Amino acid sequence: MNPYLFLLIAFLAAAPYGVGAAETAFVIDKLLVGVHQEEDLTSAIMKVLPTGTKLEVVARKGEIAKIKDPDGVTGWVDAAYLMKSAPAADLLEQLKLDKQALADRVRALESSKATPGGPPAAVDALTNENTELKSQLSAQKLKNSELETTLADLRKNAPTTPGGGTVAAELQTANLELKEKLEQAQEAIEALRAQQPSSSPLDRIRAASSGTLNALLVLGIMLCMGFGGGLYLMDYLNRRRHGGFRV
């Protein structure tokens, strides 16, 4: 058999299998790094970390490095798998997220431009707030008007006391009541002094001086009470005259 013919037949027989078995493939960018328990890379692996894991480098010794992962696991890895910047896959994912956010923002702006008759949300919020403030202002004006009317009525009725008398008449009545109380206190002191037995002139002198001091003390207290009561009454009536304000 012709050797060239044999090679041609063999090539034709093998060609379909070679073409059918061929396919396109890419090397995956995912990498798993083993975290070793000891400083030796042949020691037991405690954990496997995927690509993009952020690590804290505790120490470096030649071609290996001691790291600490986000969970707090500490171990040794091959330093060749460590890099200072984030992997390209993570950066690409972040760029995709940023692009999506920008696209959403552009669509929102285009939507707002497409409806020129409708005000933006910020304008609506300001309009509602302005309307509410106007309502509060109107209510405040109405309340102020009511207070002014009440104040005018109080000023009009201030000179007359609830009993129908004038301010001077009420002060005079209060002073008369205080004088009556003072006279009653003096009478009580005299009655007590008369009931005390007098055994000697010295005792009578002591009793008289003690009674005089008591009378002066009671008199001073009553005068203070009368003065204070008069001031309080005048202040009260004065405030009523001026609508509750002290002048």
Residue ending a domain, among 25, 60, 84, is 84
Do the domain assignments include residue 89? no
- What is the model's pLDDT at position 202? 46
Domain at 62, CATH number: 2.30.30.40
- What is the model's pLDDT at position 104? 75
In order, the DSSP letters of 113-171 are HH-TTSPPHHHHHHHHHHHHHHHHHHHHHHHHHHHHHHHHHHHHHTTS-TTS--HHHHH
- What is the model's pLDDT at position 164? 47
Do the domain assignments include residue 115? no
- What is the model's pLDDT at position 161? 47
Range of the domain at 19: 12-84
- What is the model's pLDDT at position 74? 93
Do the domain assignments include residue 63? yes
- What is the model's pLDDT at position 193? 60
- What is the model's pLDDT at position 123? 62
- What is the model's pLDDT at position 135? 72
Residue ranges of the chain whose pLDDT lies below 50: 4, 17-20, 25-28, 161-164, 200-202, 205-206, 208, 245
Q: With contact defined as beta carbons under 8 Å apart, do 41 and 76 qualify?
A: yes
- What is the model's pLDDT at position 27? 44
Instruction: Provide the domain count of the chain.
Output: 2
- What is the model's pLDDT at position 12? 56
